[in-house]
Structure 1
Amino acid sequence: MAGILMWVTALAPVRNRLFNLFHGTHQLYIVLFAFYAWHVGKGNMGKCMGGVFLFFIDRFLRMLQSRRRLTGVSARVLPSGIVELKIPIKQGISRLEWHPFSAASSSLNASSTISVYVKPLGDWTCSLQAAIVENLATRSLGPKLECPFPLKLHAEGPYGQESNYFLRYKNLMLVAGGAGITPFLAILNDLLKRHQLKQQEAPVCVQVIWCVRSISELSTLRDIRPAQICPSFTDGLTLELEVFVTRDDAKNDFTQFNSKKLEFGDTCTDKQDACKGDSCVKTISCLTPITSSQNLLMVAIVLASVAGFILMSGLFNHYVNTSRTSAQGLPMALDVFLFFLSTGVGIVVFGGGVLLLWNPAWNSSRTNLTADDGRMDIKLNMDVEAQPATLMDMCTITKGPRPQFQEIFENAATRYRGEGTGVLVCGPNGLRESVALQCRAQNFKHRRAQFHFHSVSFDL
């Protein structure tokens, strides 16, 4: 029954419209696995135990990552209706509501926050937007210590592909539809930061194609200031932005794109540590989230967990089995229970112990790296004011028709002849299918550029 419920809620109509039901129902995997183990026994369960063991390790780390509750640093509603939240980067939305969002900031930035964009579609996201608008309308101009949201935030992740997979290409084509621009903002942030650090593996030519319904959605591009991140980015990076506005009849007036920001202190947690003046300063002790770049730490946690599992299994098998010898040995239920207990002790005690011992040293090096990065001297070889202030000033806007991908890819094939080009697409299924079709058509032609298609989706 648990497996049937998980299968039904995993269907696309249920998962997309009732994500919280999908997420909550899939916590029944524990019941499914437990009854499977008690049904087939410990011996047959070993056929799938390798993958299950790694999954439990990952689930334990995610539980540690999201155990703290806090609110965002700031929130605002953009003219397009999208909600921008900034939350502390080291911390982990309500215990009863889980939603997947895309980050719009880079891990290379010295900022201590991470930005996510929330498009109001369902009841929960619309209520979040309404709460921010209501607080903006009612609160005074001065800062307040109380948080505007009664519910605290948790965070897990990141999920999806390896974060730096786009670095393998010299040229990039980023195709987005609507809110699909969000993950590409993080990529652009990352590329600008890498060019500032003079990293050689960063792509040198980036073409962004964005389809929107209303011109007000372009306000999202105001958050990235290339000249501020990397003043000399034009020397090593060619950045082109093409925006296609399909359903907008408003005037092309960018001065209307103003959005007020709702500030509520540095952070708001359950416990206030110290207050200075009008701002509240908190000290938060937290395990740093595990990322894919910490391969050595992950290997150590896995090896320690496996060693602890083997040790506890041996101890239980020796002492419990020998003290209750019988012709048939231990009952299957008790045998499987001891197997689960060995798994839990191995992961929590041994794997968690390695994480606790490793984390202070890693946090110290991470803090020093951030501090050094913040003190980095940037030599301005050109006039920053002469460069585009934001990405909005760099984009080319076309109103009316949808982009002609055949023409776009024909021009790109001529431009990038003989080179590999990464094509990243985030948007509706129709958009992804059209881009994938053009990538395949161009790859079949001789002496042309090779387009490598990657689908970036909001779905889990």
Structure 2
Amino acid sequence: MPVKTLNLNLWQLKYYRVATRFGLLAEACLALLLFPVLRGLSMFQLLNIEFAASIKYHVWFGTGLIFFSLVHGGSTLFIWTITHHIEEEIWKWQRTGRVYVAGLISLVTGLLMWITSLPQIRRKNFEVFYYTHHLYILFLVAFLFHAGDRHFYWVLPGIFLFGLDKILRIVQSRSEICVLSANLFSCKAIELVLPKDPRLNYAPSSFIFLNIPLVSRFQWHPFSIISSSSVDKHTLSIMMKCEGDWTNSVYNKVEEATNSEKKINNMAVRVEGPYGPASVDFLRYDNLFLVAGGIGITPFLSILKELACKNRLKSPKRVQLVFAVRTFQDLNMLLPISSILFNPIHNLNLKLKVFVTQEKKPSNGKTTLQEFLAQSQVQSIHLGTDEDYSRFPIRGPENFRWLATLVLITVLTFLGFLIGLSHFFIPSEHKNHSGVMKLVASGAMKTAKEKVPSWVPDLIIIVSYVIAITIGGLAATILQWRGKHREAPRMSKEEVIKPEERNFTELKPIPLIEEHEIHTGERPKLEEIMSEFEKNLRGWSSIGVLVCGPETMKEDVASMCRKWPQCFGVEDSGRNRMKMNLNFHSLNFNL
């Protein structure tokens, strides 16, 4: 509604203008909102920022968007109320200008998405969060009709790339691959082994998004990769802990195959990724201090596997792993790296401290970590057929040139349809010989006072966007089809470790006394462990401190790093003076 028709006094006019400025701030947040959640087209990877770390920017922009929108919408409704125009304006769909009812729809939709994304709801009811977040389509369409095409162009780049990124992920994940094998651990954790293209390399601590149609055709969940592409050329492994309905369903489906005659054949999954850091950043440190809690151990499994196969000249000299769990059964999650822990052939200077917080002693009576893991029970199930070892392996995201070509094709298509449809449906202005302004549209003459309805250019943007994204999806499908049919190295059964041959419990005894420690009934005292770790270092040392676990654990590790003396002399037994530099990194195992 024009300000002049509201008959506002001075303070009301100023307040109304402030409300309008808050709307512009919400628009700025929306312009940046979708960039952090891009996966295949992520710009944060150019800055070496992981996808999991960039999610926090999406949360910040989303919170800012809702706050500014609430102030903008609430203040506007307040002005309408005190001027007795609210019933007149709130439900009216204006022919030209801003559509206020669309703004109300956008505000309510955005608020609903924000509430269901709060950690208290998202972690306990992920399905509610997941399905509610798909209301973003209604939110963006309502915003377009409310703000108009001119304001929408400011936020269009992020929306455009997000739509194309979504299409790319659909194209990548439309092919189903079959799980080769599964390993069920007694701690209600499950390891899935998937086939991958041997040319696909990924950095440790990477993750994938997984969909299992047998459980749900629509739900996608992120899982850390526990394998290393330097070691496992043809397979990729993930581990999930049963802490929700979806993961429990996966565990039960696989477990049923071992307890009944009805065997699951060709357990099909869809995969997005892998996504992760652009480089192996942890190799630049002289030493590593790793802290994990529960299922947070999964990123470190891939890191330790990578370190075990690296040249010792380029790897950290010492590695301290602190692993905190609730029960002894949770220690079974260390089985994938049991050969690294107890086999000296890997030549990895690794020391492990385990803290079991809720139990005093294991039920099997074993006192050492090696004895406990040797008695652990693992059910290994072979799910793949002969064809599954080379059929539709995980290929990973495409290269930069491929993505740049696709973006260029889609942008040119969008601009072409936008210009063409605008020229056809929106009349153009020109002057006749008498100097009278006329509008020509579809062969009919109109006066200059007549305006095109505001929904016409809005619909043109939507139609052009849908056509461009569709053509981009077709181009991506064709390009991927051509790449898939190129000759790729095939793997055979002999090149893949079969589940029958992966006997986790066959641990060879080592001649030295086991250095790994188990502490029961207590939590790790990080400062004491770091002090002990520091005593074994000589000279200047850079230490990479990586943590993955609950938020309280991350806060404790960050607090320790802030308190610890950094970049200045620390007494070393009264003889030497050494320098330490602690570099804190937080890894996420859930998004």
Q: Calculate the TM-score normalised by the size of structure 1.
A: 0.78
Hey, what's the Cα distance between the residues in 2 that align with 1:439 and 1:454? 10
Relative to structure 1, the CA distance from residue 119 to residue 331 in structure 2 (aligned partners, 3 Å threshold; closer, same or farther) is same
- The equivalent of 2:519 in structure 1 is 398
Check the 8 A contact 1:76/1:132 in 2, yes or no.
Answer: no
The 5 A counterparts of 1:42-121 are 42-89=149-196, 93=212, 94-121=216-243
Relative to structure 1, the CA distance from residue 25 to residue 187 in structure 2 (aligned partners, 3 Å threshold; closer, same or farther) is same
The farther-off stretch of 329-338 and 346-355 is 346-355
The 5 A counterparts of 1:90-239 are 93=212, 94-139=216-261, 146-147=265-266, 152-158=268-274, 162=278, 164-193=280-309, 195=310, 198=311, 202-224=315-337, 233-234=346-347, 237-239=348-350
Letter of the structure 2 residue corresponding to residue 403 of structure 1:
P
Relative to structure 1, the CA distance from residue 356 to residue 396 in structure 2 (aligned partners, 3 Å threshold; closer, same or farther) is farther
- The equivalent of 1:242 in structure 2 is 353
Q: CA deviation at 1:98?
A: 3.3
SS in 1 for 2:543: strand
Moved over 6 A (4+): 385-389
Unaligned 5+ segments in structure 1 are 267-278, 376-384
Hey, what's the Cα distance between the residues in 2 that align with 1:309 and 1:224? 50
Q: CA deviation at 1:189?
A: 2.4
Query: Which of 445, 453, 456 is the aligned partner of 1:331?
Result: 453
Check the 8 A contact 1:79/1:219 in 2, yes or no.
Answer: yes
Hey, what's the Cα distance between the residues in 1 that align with 2:114 and 2:534? 42
Check the 8 A contact 1:78/1:259 in 2, yes or no.
Answer: yes
Check the 8 A contact 1:65/1:92 in 2, yes or no.
Answer: no
Q: CA deviation at 1:26?
A: 0.5
Hey, what's the Cα distance between the residues in 2 that align with 1:216 and 1:132? 19
Letter of the structure 2 residue corresponding to residue 404 of structure 1:
K
SS in 2 for 1:219: helix
Q: CA deviation at 1:285?
A: 5.1
Letter of the structure 1 residue corresponding to residue 377 of structure 2:
N
Larger Rg: 2
Give percent identity, aligned residues only: 32
Relative to structure 1, the CA distance from residue 248 to residue 131 in structure 2 (aligned partners, 3 Å threshold; closer, same or farther) is farther
Query: Which of 427, 432, 437 is the aligned partner of 2:559?
Result: 437
Check the 8 A contact 1:69/1:92 in 2, yes or no.
Answer: no
The farther-off stretch of 102-111 and 7-16 is 102-111
Hey, what's the Cα distance between the residues in 1 that align with 2:403 and 2:509? 42
Hey, what's the Cα distance between the residues in 2 that align with 1:356 and 1:200? 44
Hey, what's the Cα distance between the residues in 1 that align with 2:261 and 2:211? 27
Unaligned 5+ segments in structure 2 are 1-107, 198-209, 428-439, 497-505, 570-578
Q: CA deviation at 1:410?
A: 2.5
Q: CA deviation at 1:9?
A: 0.6
SS in 2 for 1:288: coil
- The equivalent of 1:408 in structure 2 is 529
The 5 A counterparts of 1:349-364 are 349-350=471-472, 352-353=474-475, 356-357=478-479, 360-361=482-483, 364=486
Letter of the structure 2 residue corresponding to residue 431 of structure 1:
M
Check the 8 A contact 2:324/2:523 in 1, yes or no.
Answer: yes
- The equivalent of 2:432 in structure 1 is none
Relative to structure 1, the CA distance from residue 430 to residue 296 in structure 2 (aligned partners, 3 Å threshold; closer, same or farther) is same
Hey, what's the Cα distance between the residues in 2 that align with 1:450 and 1:419? 6
Q: Calculate the TM-score normalised by the size of structure 2.
A: 0.62
1:17-68: CA deviations, max 9, x gaps? 1111111110111110111011111110122222222222221111122223
- The equivalent of 1:20 in structure 2 is 127
RMSD: 3.6
SS in 2 for 1:298: helix
SS in 1 for 2:186: coil
Hey, what's the Cα distance between the residues in 1 that align with 2:394 and 2:412? 23
Letter of the structure 2 residue corresponding to residue 449 of structure 1:
M
Check the 8 A contact 1:288/1:363 in 2, yes or no.
Answer: no
1:283-326: CA deviations, max 9, x gaps? 745883316xx333333333333233223323323344358466
- The equivalent of 2:466 in structure 1 is 344
> How many positions carry a matched residue from both structures?
419
Check the 8 A contact 1:170/1:420 in 2, yes or no.
Answer: yes
Relative to structure 1, the CA distance from residue 315 to residue 421 in structure 2 (aligned partners, 3 Å threshold; closer, same or farther) is farther
Relative to structure 1, the CA distance from residue 222 to residue 287 in structure 2 (aligned partners, 3 Å threshold; closer, same or farther) is closer
- The equivalent of 2:583 in structure 1 is 452
- The equivalent of 2:140 in structure 1 is 33
Hey, what's the Cα distance between the residues in 2 that align with 1:309 and 1:388? 65
The 5 A counterparts of 1:287-298 are 288-290=395-397, 294-298=399-403
Q: CA deviation at 1:3?
A: 0.9
Query: Which of 396, 404, 409 is the aligned partner of 1:304?
Result: 409
